[in-house]
Chain A
Amino acid sequence: MLGKGGAGKSTVAAALGLAEARAGRRVLVAEVAGQHRIARLFGAGDVGEDRETELAPGLFAISIDPERATEEYLSGQLRIRPVVELLTHSRAFHTFAAAAPGLPELVTVGKVWSLAIALDADGVPLWDVVIVDCPATGHGVALLETAGNVEELAAGGPIRDQAARINEVVSHPAATGIIVVARPEELAVSEALDAIALLRGAGLPVAATVLNGVRADRFSPDEAPHLEAAARAGASAVRAAAQAALRHLEHQVADAAYRDRLAAEGGVPLIELPEVISRRFDREALETLSDRLAAPVATTARAG
């Protein structure tokens, strides 16, 4: 899940996770910015940073912390605890980590990768789907590009080999699908289209766009004259209702234009999610979105 800040990436990730879990799959939602938003949407406390927390039947969440992931990675590589500590406690290592480009991004995406390919004792994949809630657009694209960058940057050595293995999965359209989330707003849609171009340029597979918060298709333009008449006459409450309807119609027309633009210029399937109007965004609101994602999920399940 990639998108501009405020586009609703976490919400869409949670709703998609719920829809996938209800379709009978084992789903892991991974948060990488350490914001614990997913758990909050389910009314749970913070999710674990080293282990998966079950939020709903079949739906798990984990929060990936780059520092912890680095230690975990080093432990896997060096195997001996005191050796790992010698390294992580040395100033030289921290300077290296600060200077070597993209190290936190690499271990983060590496952790996601290891979760995605993990097998259980019987050799069956642990997760059917891993949904990654990426940071906001610029940083999210950098995160996804990082394995490819390191592969190119390091001429040899274990890091390069790992980066190559990670990038193989991240850049393969049968393994990974990037979903770009946007709200029906000028800046958000432009940014989503820019991100799609960047991702394509880096050889990363964009699978779909989600237009989140689309207003209900409620009025038709030929009803406008009637609403305008009522907005001029009548009691104040009558006028207010007619004006509200006219504002809605204006937004509705704008939303349709953004939808057409994102669908045409994005060049990938577009999924629409309705605007949820409630005094607070609660479980019920999440269910509404999840239900709307059930059909697209069923389609991808059939497609394998």
Chain B
Amino acid sequence: MISDLLTRRLVVCCGAGGVGKTTVSAGVALRLAAAGARTVVVTIDPARRLATALGMSGLSDAPQRVPADGVLGRGAGELWALQLDARATFDRLVARYAPDEAARQRILDNRIYRHLSGTVAGAQEYMAVERLHELVEGGQFERIVLDTPPAANALDFLDAPQRITRFIEGRALRLLLRPSTAAGGFGWRLLHAGSGTVLSLLERLTGAQLLRDVGDFLADFDGMYQGFADRAKAVRALLVSDSSAFLVVAAPEPDPLAQALSLAGRLGEEGFPFIGVVLNRVHPLPPSGLPRLEALEEALAGSAAADPGDLATRALATLAEEQVLGLRDLDAREFLRTALHGQQVIEIPAFAREPVELAGIAEVAAALGT
């Protein structure tokens, strides 16, 4: 599978929450870097997890070099990481594309904008698209690995380019809400009676102030809309091209498995280059069966344990549990293989210690195979 990824500009890792997408993304990025490319791993997850996983503190919106030389080996590229900051990205866009200084300041001061760019769910996905565009255009990195939010939101991420475009197409509202400055005070420019009704209905719900703020916000974005649409389109084109690859990360539990399958199905239907599923945290089936209790007790008695019978019973119960988990995970693998009709499934074992340091990421990277 990894060999399929080596030539791609962009690798997107998606899947349910809690399956270890962040560590798998970091592992993939490490492999691409080890193969000689200057690689950046980007997380758009609202929770700041990547920094911990990469053994760095205070990961920021600007790419930072990960001190990975110890695990990368000779002849390797570089590993960089960044945490998407929706607000910083949005502010940068406004600064860069606003038609003039006055418009820039009005947007940055607009209360709607401040909430939209900072705290609201959904802004993250919009801005991931923009950030991705910046990184691709910037040309600083040969490979980009993108960690995405949980599945319900991973789909949002794929939809973000369309949502931005839809938002932009709301021209009707923009014109309607444009304040007519000539009137001295504040007034609506009403295009026709039907829209007027809609507006007055809206105003009844929201109050005049909120509606006016939304109107100002939309009006100030005039002249920037086309840029949004163009960049969204460019990112979409990159995502469906052969320069990209999608990995779905899953864990051997019912919900993540179901989400992985639905995600894989949707990626295929919509023409995204889906490569395969990474089944993370697989418990291996213990190779031998359960020992006889007496044999275990005897071995423990040999080292003078206080109550070898009791200790043996507990140890036996633990091995029996490992068997149950091993069987459960075998079920999961078979379920995936059957449902995916020969698409690749890569297994990463459940490590005794969580892969939260660079050394752990390197173990994950190695487990990705060739």
Contacts and interface: CB of A to CB of B under 8 A. Distances in A.
A210 to B, nearest CB: 15
A187 B49 contact: yes
A6 B314 contact: no
B332 to A, nearest CB: 10
Contact of A4 (B47, B210, B316): B47
B274 to A, nearest CB: 21
Given A77-B205, A105-B121, A234-B291, 9 more contacts: A40-B254, A90-B195, A93-B198, A96-B170, A102-B120, A136-B153, A194-B47, A235-B291, A235-B295
20 contacts: A6-B18, A83-B201, A93-B198, A95-B170, A96-B214, A135-B121, A136-B17, A138-B45, A139-B153, A142-B46, A187-B53, A191-B47, A218-B317, A236-B288, A237-B291, A237-B295, A240-B286, A241-B315, A241-B316, A280-B254
Interface string B277-300: 000000000111111100110011
Interface stretch (A46-54, A115-123, A172-180, A219-227): A219-227
A158 B48 contact: no
B218 A5 contact: no
B302 A187 contact: no
A138 B121 contact: yes
- Secondary structure at chain B's binding surface: helix, strand, loop or mixed? helix
B209 A91 contact: no
A83 B197 CA distance: 9
Interface of A: 4-7, 10, 33-35, 37, 40, 74, 77-78, 83, 86-87, 90-96, 98-102, 105, 135-139, 142-143, 145-146, 149, 153-160, 183, 185-188, 190-191, 194-195, 218-219, 223, 225-227, 229-230, 233-238, 240-242, 244-245, 247-248, 250-251, 277-281
Interface residues of B, number: 93
B27 interface: no
A99 B356 contact: no
A91 B173 contact: yes
Nearest to B286: A240
B210 A159 contact: yes
Contact of B325 (A183, A191, A245, A277): A277
B152 interface: yes
Contact of A277 (B303, B315, B324): B324
Which of the listed residues A98, A191, A230 has the most CB atoms from chain B within 10 Å of its own CB?
Answer: A230
B249 to A, nearest CB: 11
Interface in B167-200: 167, 169-170, 172-174, 176, 194-195, 197-199
A87 B46 contact: no
Contacts of A100: 112, 206, 210, 214
B22 A187 contact: yes
Contact of A92 (B18, B172, B308, B352): B172
A138 B218 CA distance: 26
A145 to B, nearest CB: 7
Q: Which of A92, A102, A240, A242 has the most CB of B within 10 A?
A: A92
Contact of A102 (B52, B115, B205, B299): B115
Contacts of B102: none
B201 A99 contact: no
B167 A237 contact: no
A163 to B, nearest CB: 10
Contacts of B349: none
